[in-house]
Structure 1
């Protein structure tokens, strides 16, 4: 509140709103008796010392009635706003959790209501439900709802694409719970700000309804009713209409100024899918026998999207227990999409195909949906580059970790919380009990990354996929996270797929290195051969671009000329047509590179796809 109150408009709005609230509280007890006292000797008097705003047709003091009417006016405005905001919020959030057709129906309904004039809608509802305060409140609430629905729909559409919402849907979390726990809490701030502005509009609208005779009926009275009663005398004694008019105007201005100031202050702060279909590859021959000891075995993995775009093509990979494999390459080479395909997280309309995709000895493609979700939920842990994409900012850290144990392992709340605290301590988070009660934004970047690793360890993962988990961290925290990954791998015996574009980090942490370029594996080699034994020109160029203590600082840093082709540019025919994707940037390219080289053995545990290697 301190920032919006620094502006003159925000301060004025806050003062006016505070005065109106105080008036609503103290008005009836202090001036209630005066407002109801009938004086036949003072009927229809003008302004005087005894009656500053005059009297009505029963001799009642109008000033006292204006002061008392504040409570009913504000109460009715608040009720109408809450009804409109509640109905509009639910209506706007439904498309993000309903099936597509029902979501379109709700969206069309919202669009139609927004196009309908609000005043006519409120008057229609008021007439149908009956004249009086109830009809006016329902009418104004119905007029407010479409605006809230449109705002909620826009905000929910952006939040619904977050990874934690996609994960909740994968876990078959009920739609109501997805909406109340994952979507609405994360869009609450702009809705609350809009609520303040809507309250001022509702106050003016209700006064207008009462002034037209559709709102509050005698013997009750609000500001609009008092304005209606005094309007017939406005030319003879204008003071009788001046009081309620000023009260309505000041209250409306106050709420709108405060709402605008809060919205402007909030706008300066940083603001916090369907899965692809998995199918077998058309040709699964020539794959050999499955590796019985491998934690992960992938053969001919391909990820395709409509329009001939294939970001990952024919990738094969095997990871043994306790082994850390580094997957490296430039941005856009298909590393993260490979990890998403293994974890079943490729967004629709992507299509994942594989000749073999085995995790912990089970072929993921052949498992029923329930068993596949259980296998991926308990045996696979994924650590993403941005932990805030995995953590729900509206929920506390401990509850998010405990959810893994309750959903996948059937643990009780107490057991799940105990395991969550144990896992937080396991990844060297100090004071785990206190940290578990905090929200993600209260933790540092390195600590949030540790929380995500702890979340993966809530089960008993056999495979850990770490997708550039140290990119956004400083070098000190980066080293701590790398050491933690090595400790976790050594202790649990899990296989780890470490994805990075930093060849130095991979060389420090990993046992083997798989190099990707333009969606394909171009080289696979032991990490000890990375610095001096790389055979593919692309791998050698990556190593050469890494400066060391002996690098001549007077010369420009080494770089790879040109750019990596996009997946759309690599749409190719069957077989080996299309050539080597790196040929345009390669100094060793020859006419033979017009044909794509196969990935072949190049020594012990070393494979390379290059004609000149």
Structure 2
């Protein structure tokens, strides 16, 4: 579930360079599948072009003195019933076999594309008729459709080509309809409609570019199926007719003498298999390129934290969560990028910790790393990452699953994407008790209803039978908390749970978290952009910037009520100065922090905030400060922290005006 690795000390994180346009394809061709697909495809292409020119005459020579002979020095694979060389005929048949398969694939893809996009262009009733027709056609086996269309279009090359094409079209059309339906409902398509973009242009400019990659993969793999189907029709005698021949016709002609000379039938059969394998392997290679943009196999150096941080200051005798020197890194074309670099903190039992910072500061990744939710190719490293006394990075996943499933709850920013849209909410909550507490299906569902009541969802029994899309945003957030309460959570990681909620729902949700904390004695790690919300609902605040904690202070210090715990870091004071309050002058321009945070792959040397800080010096640009203790439970990573407790001092770090 989480990718972890041990790394050597002292290695630096490489800065990715601009990727060459063809680099993903070159990387894919270096893989075993890529090498095999390229070799087979080049071989088939060369034979299709050169074989008729080089050996066409030899393949057509009739030798009545060498009828139905076995393999020999003169005839490598023997001869057919007219004394023609099987080896040369198999090579020459490559052109017609591959050309007909590609032609059928092209026609089928074009027809499927039209049928798949028609419902988005036609009026609703006509579109439903097209969709119904496609669904009925998909229900029939492809070979049955091919035989049906072969009878309709007639025996021969043209009829077989059209038959294979129209047998391929319904499946491709169904794929196009499904992909297009997922894109048509997005906001950028609605914006284009409002702007007056016509339906045809809407499809060409906004829909097709967003569904093109899977269609290319499907078409590439479909070419192999078309080759096999075409050979099957020729084998049945309704495909290619004499005097022309393809691999299917050669297989049919050689079947009668298979007991005398097996090579007569095995040679064209092997050609069909190898050519079909070439198309399928090419499809797999294309899928690998369009699905993975940054191949991690090319990265040679493992990531390590670029700067050692001070150990986390423990709270209480037995902290619930201990994080020391945490780093989360992801591979790039030329090295590793570390959005979280050297984070250290602790969370005590029943304590509420807030994590604030601008977008891209590493807040959410820190929460995901603590919850063991960083997926490969991401890598998590830490000197220490313990939850409830259990090391998360070294304990096997099988042993961690019961602990994390019952003692840690995760509240995601968008619970609509966190719930399975195809399952009822009650069943999803009940699954936790079934898996971790061994309850029966009925008892687990009853507990799920009880947990929904606990998070103040009205008509909990009825709501438990509903699907996530039938819940409002606030109710989904509460249901997500209810899922965490199915066990006995000791830590709740809330990743921006109030984002996109109105003020009333936000207040209810925060009260629910507070009640849960009090009732279960659970600790809370609240990740938010809103520093005011964090100050009102947390005991301590971690201020993050460019993947590091720049200040760890008491939440009461954010109000400047206690001079001893007032914020000292220029970034923290700039965030507070840019926060709007009820007495803010509405006629004055909005205060903003000048500049932008650095990209994770372009973090400068020294303090990352130096380029935006009014107190920065040459030392700040050269040396990265290590968090130092400046008071009880107060740490600051700054070479020139503020010493005064005045609120006005932070306003020198903000500018008046809109964002850049």
> Which range, TM-score by smaller chain?
0.5 to 0.7
Q: Contact 2:146 / 2:167 at 8 angstroms: preserved in 1?
A: no
1:585 to 570, 595, 612: 612
1:300 to 325, 331, 351: 325
Deviations along 1:223-246, one digit per CA (max 9) or x if unpaired, are xxxxxxxxxxxxxxxxxxxxxxxx
State the TM-score, normalizing by the size of structure 2.
0.54
Q: Does 2:532 match 1:475?
A: no
Q: Who is 1:558 aligned against?
A: 591
SS at match of 1:366: coil
Aligned partners of 1:17 and 1:600: how far apart in 2? 66
Q: Does 2:406 match 1:370?
A: no
Aligned partners of 2:418 and 2:319: how far apart in 1? 28
Q: Contact 1:81 / 1:144 at 8 angstroms: preserved in 2?
A: no
SS at match of 2:584: coil
Aligned partners of 1:539 and 1:586: how far apart in 2? 11
Aligned partners of 2:166 and 2:471: how far apart in 1? 40
Gaps of 5+ in 1: 19-73, 88-117, 129-137, 159-208, 215-274, 572-577
Shift in CA distance, 15/420, structure 1 to aligned 2, threshold 3 Å: closer
Q: Who is 1:530 aligned against?
A: 558
1:515 to 543, 549, 554: 543
List aligned pairs for 1:29-428, cutoff 5 A. Answer: 80-84=137-141, 123=150, 143=168, 146-147=171-172, 150-151=175-176, 287=311, 293-306=318-331, 307-428=335-456
Aligned partners of 1:289 and 1:330: how far apart in 2? 24
Aligned partners of 2:600 and 2:128: how far apart in 1? 55
Aligned partners of 2:313 and 2:634: how far apart in 1? 20
Gaps of 5+ in 2: 1-117, 156-162, 184-232, 239-295, 297-301, 561-565, 642-660
Shift in CA distance, 414/279, structure 1 to aligned 2, threshold 3 Å: farther
Shift in CA distance, 605/403, structure 1 to aligned 2, threshold 3 Å: same
Aligned partners of 1:510 and 1:296: how far apart in 2? 16
Q: Contact 2:539 / 2:554 at 8 angstroms: preserved in 1?
A: yes
Q: How many residues align?
A: 399
Q: Does 2:554 match 1:497?
A: no
Deviation, 1:123, is 3.9
Deviation, 1:398, is 0.6
SS at match of 1:365: coil
Aligned partners of 1:555 and 1:491: how far apart in 2? 44
Deviation, 1:82, is 1.4
Shift in CA distance, 120/537, structure 1 to aligned 2, threshold 3 Å: farther
SS at match of 1:454: helix
Q: Contact 2:625 / 2:637 at 8 angstroms: preserved in 1?
A: yes
Shift in CA distance, 444/150, structure 1 to aligned 2, threshold 3 Å: closer
Deviations along 1:250-295, one digit per CA (max 9) or x if unpaired, are xxxxxxxxxxxxxxxxxxxxxxxxx9xx999899998599875211
State the TM-score, normalizing by the size of structure 1.
0.58
Q: Contact 2:541 / 2:552 at 8 angstroms: preserved in 1?
A: yes
Q: Who is 2:572 aligned against?
A: 539
Shift in CA distance, 608/13, structure 1 to aligned 2, threshold 3 Å: closer
Q: Who is 1:234 aligned against?
A: none
Aligned partners of 1:283 and 1:580: how far apart in 2? 11
SS at match of 1:341: helix
Q: Contact 1:531 / 1:543 at 8 angstroms: preserved in 2?
A: no
Shift in CA distance, 84/339, structure 1 to aligned 2, threshold 3 Å: farther
Shift in CA distance, 400/514, structure 1 to aligned 2, threshold 3 Å: same
Q: Contact 2:606 / 2:620 at 8 angstroms: preserved in 1?
A: yes
Aligned partners of 2:512 and 2:135: how far apart in 1? 53
Deviations along 1:121-148, one digit per CA (max 9) or x if unpaired, are 9649x999xxxxxxxxx98996356426
SS at match of 2:592: coil
Q: Who is 1:575 aligned against?
A: none
Q: Who is 1:188 aligned against?
A: none
Q: Who is 2:483 aligned against?
A: 455
Shift in CA distance, 152/455, structure 1 to aligned 2, threshold 3 Å: farther
1:446 to 438, 459, 474: 474
SS at match of 2:393: helix
SS at match of 1:602: strand
